[in-house]
A and B are shown apart, each in its own frame.
Chain A
Amino acid sequence: MTQALVHEETTEILQLGRSKHARGLWSDAWRRLRKNKAAVVGLIYIGFMILVALFAPWLAPHHPNRIPSDAFSNTPPFWDDGGTWTYPLGTDSLARDYLSRLIYGARISMIVGVIPIVIVVLIGVSYGLISGWLGGRWDNILMRLVDVVYAFPSLLLFIIFQAAFRESWLGRSLGGLTLLFVAFAITGWNGLARLTRGQTMSLRQKEFVIAAQAVGNPSPRIVYRHILPNTLAPIIVAVSFAIPGYILAEASLSFLGIGIRPPTASWGSMVFQSFPIVTFRPIFVIMPSVLIALIMIAFAFVGDGLRDALDPQSNR
């Protein structure tokens, strides 16, 4: 009996040891993130919006840009007098189905959250790695450029960019999306470059990097295999805060009438188009605004959760 007990204990210890061993930084972080209720709610909401964006053509009851022959403009949603179930959330000033436009608007927000950040990460992280690894005079020159770009107010640059290229082929392609991508990429990389550079500077003093150098690894290999993986955690946190920034920038520019081009529907441009009738049908302004607000809050929850999960020492 004692033997059995001992046996049980040892297997328990062994299992404990194994499970500890299997827990790396990432699975640990994932476990902490899952415990954070707000972050989970945010993740679910973002996942839901991604699905809406992907399946928009199947979900939307009508074509988002086509004007139906039987519809009136500015019909109210179904719960108001004069609303119909054919157009559940009413029609806009051009008689287009509002629900369908809201559904297609999710596509713009999601894509604006994805494409620019990929470009920004590629440029910013490489730049930071190179600058931090080279150090010295090169680092000094590269970082001055970052400082100058950083000092340029990004909203101003977005607006000027839109003003300059809106009527060119660049501004016309993809309903104005391409120009937004370019503008976001040009202004966005410097923050990540700074962050990665700082991480690289401190990592290159670490023993494992010096050891890797001592056994004769070439620099690109050390940077790629040893430094980059160790900078990922703060980069991921920074990215999770940058994505809602781009979604908001698109919405703001579209609200000013210089973002997404008509007839493409985006939540920001829907606020812009419905704004003149805000006293008459405030609900048309409220609906896209609420969607913008919700996606921003969802990303903030996830960002906060990721920061806590990846950096448990950070005190808030």
Chain B
Amino acid sequence: MLQYVLRRVLWTIPVLWLVATVTFFLMHSAPGSPWDAKSTGGRQLDARLEASFNRQYGLDEPLIVQYGAYLRNAVTFDFGESFTQRGQTVTEIIGQGFPYSARIGVLALFLAIAIGIPVGIYAALRQNTFGDYASLFVTTISYTLPDFVIAIFLLIVFSVNFGWFPILFTDWRSYILPAVALGTGSAAFIARLTRSSVLEALRDDHVTTARAKGLHNRTVIARHVVRNSLIPVLTVVGPAFAGLVTGTIIIERVFGVPGMGRLFIDSITSRDYPVIMGVTLFYAFIIVMSNLVVDIAYGFVDPRIRTSQ
């Protein structure tokens, strides 16, 4: 088991390195510079000023030297200073934006689990009834609908028409619609997974045994069916969380949330290299970590996984 965990942990290093390298060279192979009129929003800098900026941020050095310096600093979580928001480090900027995104992501995940699992169990226990078909239909549609389309409809119906929620990002109420928009797809996915998993568990021998012992139906369902069927469901929580974290990029745009997603898009349009790199690495780190946690948890739950690789 220890060996398995170690291998998984070590595997994250080349992945993160690759993300850093690809991002770095893609960014720097792009035509134009952060001091262009396009990037700064209309101001064309003086050539001498540009040269001095380039010197200050090390952009005049050979690319490979910049790359080496970047990797060295990144290992110590030093991602440099922002080009556009002078005097602020990338770490500070991420620190300002991330809490918003994290709150939305966690709330969405909570909604997805709190709605998805009961709906899935309900559908499985009433297999092939109207309730089952209805929930199957609704989950298919909600799983298929793009996040941002759901977000737009929620915004138009509940903020613009009914005025129940603020249109601009203001207080705690502003978190609700983004979380619902983001969590709907995951809720549907979890519901479908729970349903098929519960159906499988219902046919299991140990459930037949439990029934043969004369246990109450309720006890059988709660103790023997649901508990066993939740294992595969728990394993999608990790990827779901990772998906929710990157999913906020689009959702934040709809609801005007000042989170990481908006930061990311802003930094791209203004060619703020350090912020682009920092945010990308941060996203990749979260995704890799949530996959890692799932892999390890899976290894604990299912011994076959450990030995097969």
A316 to B15, CA, bound (A): 34
Q: Is the CB of A159 within 8 A of B268?
A: yes
Q: Is the CB of B149 within 8 A of A292?
A: yes
Q: Which of A244, A275, A297, A315 contacts B196 (CB 8 A)?
A: A315
| Cβ-based interface call for B68 (8 A) | no
A296 engages B15 (CB within 8 Å): no
CA A162 – CA B14 in complex, angstroms?
A: 24
A152 smallest CB distance to B (angstroms): 6
Residues 1-44 of chain B: 1 if any A CB is under 8 Å from the residue's CB, otherwise 0? Answer: 00000000000001100110011001101111000001000000
A282 contacts chain B at the CB level, 8 A cutoff: yes
Query: Which of the segments B55-63, B77-85, B226-234, B276-284 contacts the partner chain?
Result: B276-284
A165 and B199 contact, CB distance less than 8 A? no
Whether B141 pairs with A258 at a CB distance below 8 angstroms is no
B167 and A279 form a contact (CB under 8 A)? yes
Residue of A nearest to B26 (CB): A164
Chain A residues with Cβ below 8 Å from B141 are 297
Q: How far is it, in angstroms, between the C-alpha of A68 and the C-alpha of B199 when the chains are bound?
A: 60
Bound-state CA distance A316–B149 (Å) is: 27
Count of residues in B whose CB is under 8 Å from the partner chain: 50
Fill in one digit per residue for B128-155: 1 if any A CB lies within 8 Å of its CB, else 0. 0000000000001101111011001101
Within 8 A of B (CB), among A247-303: 248, 251-252, 255-258, 271, 275, 278-279, 282, 285-286, 289, 292-293, 296-297, 300
Bound together, the chains give a CA A61 to CA B65 distance in angstroms of 57
Q: Determine which of A156, A248, A279 lies in contact with B246 in the assembled complex, contact meaning CB atoms within 8 Å.
A: A156
CB < 8 Å neighbour of B140 from A148, A152, A286, A300: A300
Most buried by A among B149, B196, B284: B149
Q: Is the CB of B265 within 8 A of A152?
A: no
Asked whether, in the complex, the Cβ of A316 is within 8 Å of the Cβ of B146, the reply is: no
A256→B265 contact, CB < 8 A: yes
When distances are taken between beta carbons in the complex, the residues of chain A under 8 Å from B149 are 289, 292-293
A293 to B152, CA, bound (A): 11
Q: B250 and A163: CB pair below 8 A?
A: no
- B191, CB-defined interface residue at 8 Å: no
Cα of A304 to Cα of B192 in the assembled complex, Å: 13
Q: Let me know if B250 and A255 touch, CB within 8 A.
A: yes
**Beta-carbon contacts of A177-189 to B below 8 Å, as 1s and 0s?**
0000000000000
A45 at the interface (CB under 8 A from B): no
Does B296 interact with chain A (Cβ within 8 Å)? no
**Min CB gap A266→B, angstroms:** 14
CB atoms of B146 and A251 under 8 A apart: yes
One of A148, A160, A161, A285 near B14 (C-beta < 8 A)? A148
> Which chain B residues in 182-232 approach chain A with CB under 8 Å?
192, 196, 199-200
Given A163-B27, A285-B156, A316-B196, A256 contacting B167 (CB threshold 8 A): no
- A211 within 8 A of partner (CB): no
Interchain CB contact under 8 A, B140 and A304: yes
Contact with A along B231-270 (1 / 0, CB 8 A): 0000000000010001001100110000000001100110
Can you list, as one digit per residue, whether each of A155-173 has a CB less than 8 Å from chain B (1) or not (0)? Answer: 1110111111101100000
Per the bound structure, the CA–CA distance linking A258 and B288 in Å amounts to: 25
Q: A252-B250, A255-B253, A304-B140 are in contact. Are A163 and B148 (CB under 8 A)?
A: no
**Chain A interface main SS type:** helix
Q: Do residues A156 and B38 form an inter-chain contact, with CB atoms below 8 A?
A: no
> Nearest Cβ in chain B — how far from A284, in angstroms?
11
Interface contact A282-B250, CB-CB below 8 Å: no
Is A285 a contact of B152 with CB atoms below 8 Å?
A: yes
- A252 and B18: CB pair below 8 A? no
The reply to whether A278 and B246 form a contact with Cβ atoms under 8 Å apart is no
B15 A148 Cβ-Cβ under 8 A:
yes
Specify the chain B residue showing the minimal Cβ separation from A251: B146
Instruction: List chain B residues, Cβ under 8 A from A244.
Output: 144
Q: Which of B140, B146, B271, B284 contacts A153 (CB 8 A)?
A: B284
Interface: A151 (CB within 8 A): yes
Q: Which residues 103-123 in A have Cβ within 8 Å of B in the complex?
A: none
CB <8 Å contact, B30 and A163 = yes
A 25-52 to B, binary, CB cutoff 8 A, 1 in contact else 0: 0000000000000000000000000000
Is there contact, CB below 8 Å, between A278 and B268?
no
For the complex, is B160 an interface residue (Cβ under 8 Å from A)?
A: yes
Q: Name the residue of chain A whose CB is nearest to the CB of B156.
A: A282
List the A residue with the shortest CB-CB distance to B28: A164
Contact of B268 among A157, A163, A255, A315 (CB under 8 A): A163
| A186 closest partner in B (C-beta) | B22
Residues of A within 8 A of B264 (CB): 159
Q: Distance in Å from the Cβ of A244 to the closest Cβ of chain B?
A: 8
Q: Are B284 and A152 in contact (CB under 8 A)?
A: yes
- Contact check, B276 vs A163: say whether CB atoms are below 8 A apart: yes
- Choose among B199, B249, B280 the residue that contacts A315 (Cβ–Cβ < 8 A): B199
Q: Is the CB of B29 within 8 A of A258?
A: no
Closest to B14 in A: A148
> Given A161, A257, A293, which contacts B26 in the complex, CB threshold below 8 Å?
A161
With A153-B287, A160-B276, A252-B148 known, 6 other A-B pairs at CB within 8 A are A156-B283, A256-B265, A257-B265, A257-B269, A271-B148, A285-B152
Question: Which are the 10 A-B pairs with shortest beta-carbon distances?
Answer: A164-B30, A163-B268, A300-B144, A151-B15, A164-B26, A282-B156, A289-B149, A293-B149, A297-B144, A155-B246
Q: Show 24 A/B contacts (Cβ-Cβ < 8 Å), sorted by A.
A: A148-B18, A151-B19, A151-B288, A152-B15, A152-B22, A159-B264, A159-B265, A160-B26, A160-B276, A161-B26, A162-B268, A163-B268, A163-B276, A167-B38, A244-B144, A255-B253, A282-B156, A289-B149, A293-B145, A296-B144, A296-B145, A297-B145, A300-B140, A315-B196
